[in-house]
Amino acid sequence: MRFLLIQPPFVQLNAPYPAVHYLDRFLRSRGHGTTVRDDSAGLFRRMMEPESVRRILNDAEASLAGRPAPDPRSALQTARYLSYRDRWADWAGLLVRFLSGGDPALAFRLSRVPDDLPLGSRAESFLEERDG
């Protein structure tokens, strides 16, 4: 017997979700044929393509236009993130490739915290506390 196992999209990627893969292994050990499709990882990869990142940020900016920010800090952070849209788009694909094991050399570049790497407020605070 053959089985198609599908991991649905929007499963939290930073949490373990190997059930479909355990089931795949179990079924194969019993002599069944299986095909596994991980739509969660696939959707994430598509969302992290440079053009997708730009579109998401453009759509977010359009959605927020004319709406008051809840507080000045939120307004500043939102404007900051949106102003980095090209940096986010440029780095997103690189980071996904690195995290997928496709570009281990990027680790050295990341360790040097390149100037074009967009950082959030927590990362900037962390680096400032450590002089760097």
Question: What is the chain's Cα-based Rg?
Answer: 20
- Please state, for a pLDDT cut of 90, what percent of the chain lies above it: 50
Do 78 and 111 lie in one domain? The reply is yes
Residues 59 and 97 in one domain: yes
Residue closest to 31 by CA, chosen among 71, 9, 63, 1: 1
Same domain, 80 and 33: no
Number of domains forming the structure of the chain: 2
Q: Answer yes or no: do 62 and 28 share one domain.
A: no
- For residue 132, the model assigns a pLDDT of 58
53 with 32, same domain: the answer is no
The domain of 31 spans 2-44
pLDDT(18) > 80: no
Which of the four pLDDT bands, split at 50, 70 and 90, describes residue 56?
very high
- Under the banding of pLDDT at 50, 70 and 90, the label for residue 113 is confident
Is residue 103 domain-shared with residue 38, that is, in the same domain? no
Residue 16: predicted pLDDT: 62
How many other C-beta atoms are found inside a 10 Å radius of the C-beta of residue 88? 19
